[in-house]
């Protein structure tokens, strides 16, 4: 498997520094948080996008994903959501990134079936555009659809190979789903896996990998036993927890921990 980390852990860090960190610590790629407060976002012009792509290429680091904030199950008109996803897909294509991340964002006060249908309709349309660009749009296990079973209710309705799933191991665990059940649900659609660690169900402050309560070894074992050979991406949510330790100091030990888990599961 290939290893990546998310720029959510180094908010605002310039692209050359992100690329150097990844290369120096043995990561194969990065997940780019695509938000206007970050160096990389859909507002970049073509020349700026080319410079970003060139920085990562020169460092030998892949752009794994453009992690956007479109909410495909949210109530409202389709057009604004689809326009947001199209902008993310265009950015991903320009950066040679294979994936775009979207959230569910369903309203808990509305019927589940309505949110599922809304998300499936929008993902189906987005998948057609993604196919034209050679990108996949991934629904993250998050918020209103935090388990693999939740995500599959949507993806089963879409039925398009360019629409897939992003497994966030924290959210499926908090949703009470076992790793083997998550993998069984998502494996036909799995784009990549976000790993992380936290102190407790009621304390999601990010911790160094292996020092918290999340079943990372079990998740890696399930993936390896299933013959899955994709990406593990460390999402260290420093952006939301200012008191968390700086990510750069943790990248080497985190890479070593994931490598040990992979070796043990082989």
> Are 94 and 50 a contacting pair, CB within 8 Å?
yes
Token pair belonging to 180: 């083997």
Q: Summarize the confidence of residues 51-64 as an average pLDDT.
A: 98
In 95-248, which residue ranges form alpha helices assigned H by DSSP?
A: 112-133, 148-158, 169-174, 179-186, 216-225
The sign of the torsion formed by the CA atoms of 180, 153, 145, 235 equals: positive
Is the pLDDT higher at 159 or at 32? Answer: 32
Span 227-255, mean pLDDT? 96
Q: What pLDDT is stored for residue 198 in this prediction?
A: 97
Domains identified in the chain, total number: 1
Residues of the chain with pLDDT > 90: what percent? Answer: 98
- Give residue-wise pLDDT tens across range 15-30: 999 999 999 999 999 9
**C-beta of residue 70 within 8 angstroms of C-beta of residue 82:** no
The first and second tokens of residue 44, run together, are 């970049």
pLDDT attached to residue 266: 79
Mean pLDDT of 33-39: 96
Look at residue 126 in the predicted model and tell me its pLDDT. 98
User: pTM score, two decimals?
Assistant: 0.97
pLDDT of residue 82: 98
Q: What is the pLDDT of residue 120?
A: 98
Mean pLDDT of 89-97: 98
Over range 78-87, report the average pLDDT.
Answer: 98
Domain that holds residue 207: 2-265
Using pLDDT thresholds of 50, 70 and 90, give the confidence band for residue 106.
very high
- As a whole number of angstroms, the distance between CA 86 and CA 107 comes to 23
Q: What is the mean pLDDT of the chain?
A: 97
SS3 content of the chain, % helix, strand, coil (to 5): 45, 20, 30
Q: What pLDDT band is residue 107 in, cutting at 50, 70 and 90?
A: very high
* Rounded distance between C-alpha atoms, residue 29 and residue 247, angstroms: 15
Mean pLDDT of 84-104: 98
Phi-psi region of 147 (alpha: psi -120 to 50; beta: other; left: phi over 0): beta
Residues 6 or more apart in contact with residue 180 via CB below 8 angstroms:
222
CATH of the domain at 132: 3.20.20.150
Q: Is the pLDDT of residue 143 over 90?
A: yes
Q: Over the stretch 179-237, which tens digit does the pLDDT of each residue have? A: 999 999 999 999 999 999 999 999 999 999 999 999 999 999 999 999 999 999 999 99
């Amino acid at each position: 498997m290939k290893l990546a980390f998310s720029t959510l852990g180094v908010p605002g860090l310039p692209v050359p520094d992100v690329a150097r960190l990844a290369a120096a610590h043995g990561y194969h790629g990065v997940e780019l948080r695509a938000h206007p407060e970050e160096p990389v976002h859909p507002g970049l012009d073509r020349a700026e996008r080319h410079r970003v792509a060139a920085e990562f290429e020169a460092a030998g680091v892949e752009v794994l994903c453009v992690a956007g904030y479109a909410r495909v199950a949210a109530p409202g008109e389709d057009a604004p959501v689809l326009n947001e996803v199209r902008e993310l897909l265009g950015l991903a294509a320009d950066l040679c990134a294979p994936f775009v991340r979207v959230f569910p964002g369903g309203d808990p006060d509305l019927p589940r079936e309505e949110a599922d249908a809304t998300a499936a309709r929008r993902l189906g349309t987005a998948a057609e555009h993604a196919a034209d660009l050679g990108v996949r749009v991934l629904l993250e296990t998050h918020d209103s659809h935090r388990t693999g079973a939740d995500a599959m209710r949507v993806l089963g309705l879409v039925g398009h190979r360019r629409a897939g799933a992003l497994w966030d191991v924290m959210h499926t665990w908090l949703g009470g789903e076992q790793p083997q059940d998550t993998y069984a649900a998502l494996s036909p659609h799995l784009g990549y896996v976000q790993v992380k660690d936290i102190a407790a169900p009621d304390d999601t402050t990010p911790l160094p990998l292996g020092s918290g309560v999340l079943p990372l070894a079990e998740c890696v074992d399930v993936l390896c036993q299933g013959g899955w050979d994709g990406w593990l991406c460390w999402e260290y949510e420093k952006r939301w927890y200012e008191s968390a330790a700086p990510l750069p100091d943790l990248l080497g030990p985190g890479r070593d921990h994931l490598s040990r888990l992979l070796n043990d599961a082989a």
